[in-house]
Structure 1
Amino acid sequence: MKIIDQNYINGEFKTIDSSKRLTLKNPTTEEDIAQIYLSTPAEMDEAIHCAATTFESFSQTSIDTRMDILQRIHDELHKYEEELIDLAVLEFGATITTTRRRTKNAINLFLAIKEELKSYDFIKKDDYSITIKEGVGVIGVIIPWNANLAHLCSNIAPAIALGCTLVIKPSEFNALETQAFLECLHRANIPKGVVNVVHGTGEVVGEILTKHPLVNAISFIGSTKTGKRIFENCSKTIKRMTLELGGKSPTVLLEDANLAEVIPHVLSSAYSNSGQACHAGSRLLVPKAKVNEVKRLLLETIQKLKIGDPKNEETKIGPMINQTQFNTVQDYIKSGIEEGAQLLCGGLGRVQEFEKGYFVKPTVFICQDQTLKIVQEEIFGPVLCVLPYESEQEALNMANDTLFGLSAYVFSSDETKAYEFAKQIRSGRVLINTAASKAKNPPFGGMKQSGLGRMGGRYSMDAFCEIKSILF
């Protein structure tokens, strides 16, 4: 069993000064795979002071220097890409096909940001003023367990591009992948103190990070509940914030949608990452006259989805990350049954063919009531709610009847019609006729209680900037 007992501070692996630790299990087999030691507030404070001191010099480095650092990190991660994939599958249980694609995209972010850096408008001049964009300073980053490497890369790359320094609290549940990533970072020989990583819980070291006066900005990806706590903490020192929070994304099938073609995309979105995705299309809005046909197609398609070992190339749905998340999803399924939603398939309990592993049955509810708990709250598991509508105006009202606004999906045979509908959805992102766009680094973030700010390519760099005007 692997032991993770070191933070990464000032370019060195430093032994954690605590006896508190957490045992990680393989979610597929429930076997113990690692123990991670949990840091103290003093260790987080040390990392923050290191980042603040380093910022003074790193912020003055040249663009060429930073471009070279981005290239070196990319190259080193690329060498160990297969190891990173294997570790993510082992400790998170994401399917290997999803993990392979996500890992490659995450590593390539360093090249994408390097390319953006070549033409980024740091200085803009006119007759009587000069406007300067400069790095915000020390960025505190808190990331979740459902896309660990992607979130590490999407924060580190733009921060380095702007000459910022970072203190990162990764999820405790991704310790193996994080350790492998840090070893790559160390071999890339980046300047000491630019990236600092402290293992621990949000209640202990996360609190220090979000309240600390030397931290200039916070980038957080996670639940809306935790985001509200971070918002409150940051307000004490008026920190800049980028918050990518929860979602309850609608998938809208317009009247002319080709259902046979669309349903696989619907389930691909709803069960993305085994449902453990903030952008999952977990509310399916269907014309009332087509509900029976949709039910039939959903059942046929779900029966073909392979559930099981995430290392198998054909697997589409893996386990929940741990027992706690499995229990959470079970509670929601129980709530849906008790509140009177029609259970189309799935339901309570582990997938029958597995004696071990946190495998939730792919579940579909038919819901006549928008106020049900399973319709309004983020479940973070493979649970889809089907909601009939009478008119497109009602569909739009239902799509927007949520506290969240992270993602949405619209399907129609008429792309122009879908676009006009998409413009009216209150969401940071709307996908038309697909569950996975091929767009390169579009802005990503939410409206309403799905967050503040945007990440992705140039937008990530803008999020980590301060703007200064010099006037004549």
Structure 2
Amino acid sequence: MVNRMQFYIDGAWMNPAAPKSMRTINPATTEEMYEVALGSKADVDRAVIAARRAFEYFSQTTREQRLSLLANIIDIYKGRAKEIGDAISDEIGAPLEMAEQMQANSAIGHLATTLEVLKNYSFEERIGSAAVLREPIGVVGMITPWNWPMSQIACKVAPALAAGCTMILKPSEFAPTCALMFAEILHEAGVPKGVFNLINGLGPEVGAAMSEHPDIDMISFTGSTRAGIDVASRAAHTVKRVSQELGGKSPYIILDDADFDKAVSGCVETIFLNSGQSCDAPSRLIVPKSRMAEVAGIAKSVAAGYKVGHPRAAGTHMGPVVNRGQWDKIQGLIQKGMEDGATIITGGLGLPKGIEKGFYIRPTIFANVTTEMTIAREEIFGPVLAIIGAMDEHDAIRIANDTPYGLAGYVFSSSTDRARSVGRLIRAGNIYLQGASLDRAAPFGGYKQSGNGREWGRFGLEDYLEVKSIAGAISAESPSPKR
């Protein structure tokens, strides 16, 4: 078992203020992998002092200096991408190929997109007789999840660096290794000391201390809605900005004119990706009620082709979920779906056939789900799909919006114009038509209890900027951008 007992603070690896640790479990084998130090408020205080001091310098760096840093980070990251993919696979159970090609490489995409945005972004403009400046907000506290660990780190750190902010990162305690690697990459890339700081720890301790800290100007949080509410409540006392990407219960509408084989296959493949552990996963499949049996048959056939097994085994499509707590929660919700009267067409309780240990879930699909059932309302965060029947297009839109969440929505039709019209009526921040993927330059975020603020691209950069109006600053010539 490997020990990972230091934090990265003020440009150096330091021991925690008080000795406390936890052991990280491999979800595929349930064996202990390594011991990780857990931080405290005292560690947060040390990191904030370093970040506040560094902000005085880093906030005044030029665009060219920050572009150079981002380019260095990208180059060094590429050389370690395979190693990072291996770590992600071990920590969260993602199949190795998916961990390397999608999980690890997504960070490169966010870094490269931010670099391109920074090249031409205008930090100063003239509006009427005023000069309007966009300036870095200050010290940012970042709390990231385990399900897409490196992607979520990169899509926060990259724009914060581009804006000229300094930061303290608390990654998930269930996936700390890639965050430690990221700190090593930033150090090698020449990020000045104090600009980026990393503390491992638990939400009720380190996360709470960051949210409440008076010298942290902003919190960027990705995680559950429950935890997001706690973060926002703690942050309210110091009136800091809070940007959140939270839970989801995303609808996948198949209209009556769609190619059902293609559309249903796309939904099943998307909900099963990453073992269903994605905040925008389409966990509610809404279809014409008259075609429920047809849809259920297609979905069952697609699910039958999924191989569940060890993440490093050849041909594995789905690995385990991240830990025992997640496994128990999913099992409980599958049981609730059965008790509520939904028709289980594949999957169910317990470990998949032939697997005796590890936190593996049987890919599960329910048909004839009604909107009041728990599996239609609660975020399951696992490979569990609920198929709901709608009377017509209007009813499908009503069902799609009958949720406190609003992160994503999916629409399939033979007509892109019709799909777009339906997509415009879904109350969610990200709409996917005809199986399309979202461009990383476009904004990502949610409506309602799925969060506020936006990440990715220009919108992600602007989340880390304050706006200042200066009257009386305009001379005969318009001011030139200084940053």
Shorter chain as denominator, the TM-score bin is over 0.9
Other structure's SS at 2:115 match: helix
Identity of aligned residues (%): 37
Post-superposition Cα deviations, 1:117-161, rounded to whole Å, max 9, x if no partner, equal 111010002451100000100011001110110111111110111
CA contact (8 A) 1:96 1:313 kept: no
Other structure's SS at 2:174 match: helix
CA contact (8 A) 1:167 1:197 kept: yes
**Does residue 1:272 correspond to 2:280, yes or no?**
no
Paired with 1:53 and 1:75, the residues of 2 have a C-alpha distance of: 28
- The CA deviation at 1:438 is 5.5
Match of 2:399 in 1: 398
**Does residue 1:242 correspond to 2:246, yes or no?**
no
Match of 2:136 in 1: 135
Amino acid across the alignment from 1:236: H
Matches within 5 A, 1:42-441: 42-99=42-99, 100-126=101-127, 128-312=129-313, 314-434=315-435, 437=437, 439-441=439-441
Match of 1:443 in 2: 443
Q: Which moved more, 1:120-129 or 1:379-388?
A: 120-129
Post-superposition Cα deviations, 1:15-49, rounded to whole Å, max 9, x if no partner, equal 12333221111111111111111112101111011
- The CA deviation at 1:306 is 1.6
- The CA deviation at 1:311 is 2.2
CA contact (8 A) 2:248 2:279 kept: yes
CA contact (8 A) 1:18 1:37 kept: no
Paired with 1:349 and 1:15, the residues of 2 have a C-alpha distance of: 41
Other structure's SS at 1:80 match: helix
CA contact (8 A) 1:74 1:108 kept: no
Q: Which moved more, 1:19-28 or 1:141-150?
A: 19-28
CA contact (8 A) 1:34 1:176 kept: no
CA contact (8 A) 1:97 1:313 kept: no
**Does residue 1:17 correspond to 2:17, yes or no?**
yes
- The CA deviation at 1:422 is 0.4
- The CA deviation at 1:86 is 0.5
CA contact (8 A) 1:142 1:206 kept: yes
Other structure's SS at 1:271 match: helix
Amino acid across the alignment from 1:145: W
TM-score (norm 2): 0.96
Paired with 1:213 and 1:351, the residues of 2 have a C-alpha distance of: 49
Paired with 1:444 and 1:385, the residues of 2 have a C-alpha distance of: 24
Other structure's SS at 1:173 match: coil
- The CA deviation at 1:259 is 0.9
Amino acid across the alignment from 1:213: P
Amino acid across the alignment from 1:470: I
Post-superposition Cα deviations, 1:420-439, rounded to whole Å, max 9, x if no partner, equal 000000000110011x5152
- The CA deviation at 1:98 is 2.5
**Runs of 4+ with deviation above 3 angstroms:** none
CA contact (8 A) 1:9 1:196 kept: yes
Residue ranges of structure 1 left out of the alignment (5+ in a row): none
CA contact (8 A) 1:253 1:287 kept: yes
Other structure's SS at 2:227 match: helix
TM-score (norm 1): 0.98
Superposed CA RMSD in Å reads 1.2
Other structure's SS at 1:174 match: coil
Residue ranges of structure 2 left out of the alignment (5+ in a row): 473-483
Match of 2:39 in 1: 39
CA contact (8 A) 1:4 1:175 kept: no
CA contact (8 A) 1:321 1:358 kept: yes
Paired with 1:464 and 1:181, the residues of 2 have a C-alpha distance of: 20
- The CA deviation at 1:221 is 0.2
Q: Which moved more, 1:337-346 or 1:410-419?
A: 337-346
Paired with 1:227 and 1:64, the residues of 2 have a C-alpha distance of: 35
Q: Which moved more, 1:303-312 or 1:282-291?
A: 303-312
Other structure's SS at 2:175 match: helix
Post-superposition Cα deviations, 1:365-390, rounded to whole Å, max 9, x if no partner, equal 12442111111010111110000111
Q: Which moved more, 1:328-337 or 1:90-99?
A: 90-99
Count of aligned positions: 471
